[in-house]
Amino acid sequence: MTAVEVISGYKYYGKANDPNKKIVLNHLNMSVTRGSIYGLLGASGCGKTTLLSCIVGRKFLNDGEINVLGGTPGTAGSGVPGPRIGYMPQDIALVEEFTIKETIYYFGRIYGMSKEKIRERYKLLKHLLELPGDDRYVGNCSGGQQRRVSFAAAMVHEPELLILDEPTVGLDPLLREKIWQYLVETTSTSKMAVIITTHYIEEAKQAGFIGLMRNGILLAEDSPTNILERFSCTSLEEAFLNLCQKHGPSEEADRTTHQTATLRAIAGAQDLKKVIPALGTNEQKAKDGGGGGGGGGLFAEKRKPLTSTIKELVSFTSKRRMNALLSKNFLQMIRQPAGMVFLFLYPIFQLVSFYVAVGGNPKDLRLGIVNEELTNIRQCFNESLITTYYREDYDCDLYKVSCRFLEKLNRSVAIQEYYDTYEDAYRDARKGKILGFIHFSENFTESLQDVRDNVRDADDGSFHTSEIKVYLDKSDQQITFFIEKKLLQTYREFAESLMTDCRLPKQLANIPITFETPVYGTFDEEFTDFMAPGVVMTMIFFLATLITATIFITDRLEGVWDRTIVAGITALELLLAHIITQTSIMLLQCIEIILLATFLFDAQNQGSNITVVGLLMLLGFAGMLYGLLISIFCDAHSTANFMATGSFYPMIILCGILWPLEGMPQYLQYVAYCFPFTIPSIAVRNVLTKGWSITNSQVYMGYGAVGVWIISLLLLCLLGLKIKK
């Protein structure tokens, strides 16, 4: 009975109409019977690994057919990928944070085995493969030890079809012989079929059949004894060399079609070139409409429809398999101390840095003072100095009132640096030694009193010299805004004190505008209260993105993803396990952020914490999907980092955290509202500062915006998984 049958298998990489596309499998025919060992031999790059990937359902032929255990790999009910096969890839493809025992138990659980059965098989395989101690971490094992553990993981569930890609590389010769003996005994007493690739050509003599592969075709397929007899060789390596010489240069092999020539034709032909051209080229068969595979054309990639992919993704998972995936995720996380520190201390560090560094008043600013109405600035420090004299005729005389202004301008605003002349102060301001300077004219007080007493008759000169002139370096907008605000407050206090001393209503010093009790917020509203929602949401979103992309790319690069899929785990199960793990982490992060902001920094919260946490969790879920999308289309961590960072900064700049959306051009506002945390940030800000509930339109719109992003990213991920299948 046939376990694996490949009929005219054709696979290429590149575009169908590209004459330089790389043909990996060139109309290959292959047959593996149950209860036998099939040795697949060939140099690196000849297509062995691609062929095995097609057999286990991880890749699909462009043309031709593959039948595995009575079904087509990747179709419903075929069991492939799934527990019917055991797969040991060329890479180690194991979780380095697992111990050896945990590794075998992990694969046993995802294969659906009971604990008792796993324990029994582990005991047997540990003895057979001479595995290290149970508690040895895979990452601490040597390369040969890791390959033995990988072999055990493929064998633990006694599959119907065992596929081993270079299983004996780096193993002791005695152990290699022991493994071969076990495989021969197992296949002879059961219906298990074994496909094994190896660089040790001579050890393949123990296989029932061997296939000699070169440039995507099988040069020969027969028992080792028959091949040696027909080519009159004493070793398989010599027979393989003779076949390659008769087959011709590799360039010609790439242009030939399938190997319909049998071993007898190859052995009997003096020149293989007389046999192969008669078979026709790939291009000719394409013109003639040749090639099997159930339609779609020779160069049409056979892919499953999206509806089929979705049905498979939403298939129900077993509790045993999900527990195995969850234990893997949590153990990987717990056994990486640096990662744990990053996950739980980074949000704290980020939040503390934000509240400590942002929103505080600038300190230690240096502001120059040029007071020309004094011969010596020390006169201002004379405690007996009186700047206002109230007379019996209800009039009020002023004297050196510039000193009163400087008294109100305390060190909390700026450190005062005194200059004798305007030129000296201006020079230091140009050199950056001071932020700017205040200039009082020589007759400042007299002019101020003249304007007050003779407002109708005062000349322009009096108005000019009664002004306090301020010269600032306005290259730093935030600093100058602070100085201007403080100077205006100082002048108001200065003017009110003059009115009071002169027994006049102090309201005369105020402009006729009064800001009453705010509708929301307070008079002393901090800028951090405006920024905090956006900062927290961007942090949650991009932490989820970074962690998800890193985990999935790492698993794929190390082969763990493919090996788990071949074992029968669906993409949805992997994603669901990650969502559960990441959701647990995000919940803890949200709690620590809220507690820290509330109790340490006294952040205001007029609304419901549940509403805030719910929105943060949904946004984190969107971040996970974004990370998954990045991991689907990025093959390396560096590319993923570039993509994540490249999208991070535009979102931060345009989402309204750094500057109000109303200050942007209209078209840019529309763009900003499309980002994942622009509307949610507004919603959270309204909950925290205004106490609004989810029934308010601006709050539930935040939930709606995140929902749209989740659905969109999920569909893109499904499409990406289908394209990259």
Same domain, 2 and 22: yes
Summarize pLDDT for 667-716 with one digit per residue, the tens. Answer: 999 999 999 989 999 999 999 989 999 999 999 999 999 999 999 999 99
Same domain, 481 and 533: no
Helix boundaries (H) for 139-259: 143-155, 173-189, 224-230, 236-247, 250-255
Nearest one of 116, 113, 126 to 86, comparing CA atoms: 113
On whether residue 161 sits in a domain, the answer given is: yes
Helix boundaries (H) for 392-443: 401-408, 422-430
On whether residue 394 sits in a domain, the answer given is: yes
Summarize pLDDT for 463-501 with one digit per residue, the tens. Answer: 999 999 999 999 988 899 999 999 999 999 888 888 888
pLDDT tops 60 at residue 378: yes
Instruction: List Cα–Cα distances, 468 to 200, 440, 482, 501, in angstroms.
Output: 93, 6, 17, 20
On whether residue 284 sits in a domain, the answer given is: no
The span from the CA of 385 to the CA of 402, in Å, is: 12
Summarize pLDDT for 568-587 with one digit per residue, the tens. Answer: 888 888 888 998 999 999 99
On whether residue 698 sits in a domain, the answer given is: yes
Kind of pairing, strands 209-214 and 193-197? unpaired
User: Residue 232 is part of a domain; what is its CATH number?
Assistant: 3.40.50.300
On whether residue 631 sits in a domain, the answer given is: yes
The span from the CA of 556 to the CA of 601, in Å, is: 42
User: What is the model's pLDDT at position 100?
Assistant: 95
- Beta-carbon contacts of 160 under 8 Å, excluding residues fewer than 6 positions away, are 3, 34, 69, 84, 85, 191, 192, 193
pLDDT averaged over every residue in the chain: 83
Instruction: Count up the domains in the chain and report the number.
Output: 3
On whether residue 59 sits in a domain, the answer given is: yes
Cβ–Cβ under 8 Å, residues 36 and 187: yes
Same domain, 340 and 384: no
Pick the last residue of a domain from 214, 246, 278: 246
Summarize pLDDT for 385-398 with one digit per residue, the tens. Answer: 777 776 665 678 88
Same domain, 638 and 553: yes
Q: What is the CA radius of gyration of the chain?
A: 40
The span from the CA of 382 to the CA of 486, in Å, is: 25
Same domain, 614 and 499: no
- For 622, phi and psi rounded to 5 degrees? -60, -40
In this prediction, residue 249 has a pLDDT band, given cuts at 50, 70 and 90, of low
Same domain, 503 and 642: no
User: Poorest-confidence range of 259-268, 337-346, 531-540, 544-553?
Assistant: 259-268
Same domain, 586 and 631: yes
Summarize pLDDT for 619-675 with one digit per residue, the tens. Answer: 999 999 999 999 988 888 999 989 988 888 888 888 888 888 988 999 999 999 999
pTM summary value: 0.75
Pick the last residue of a domain from 246, 279, 302: 246
Determine the structural domain holding residue 578 and report its residue range.
Answer: 335-353+525-722
User: Residue 476 is part of a domain; what is its CATH number?
Assistant: 3.40.1710
Same domain, 172 and 71: yes
pLDDT tops 60 at residue 289: no
Place of tokens 């419903």: 76
On whether residue 302 sits in a domain, the answer given is: no
Pick the last residue of a domain from 177, 212, 246: 246
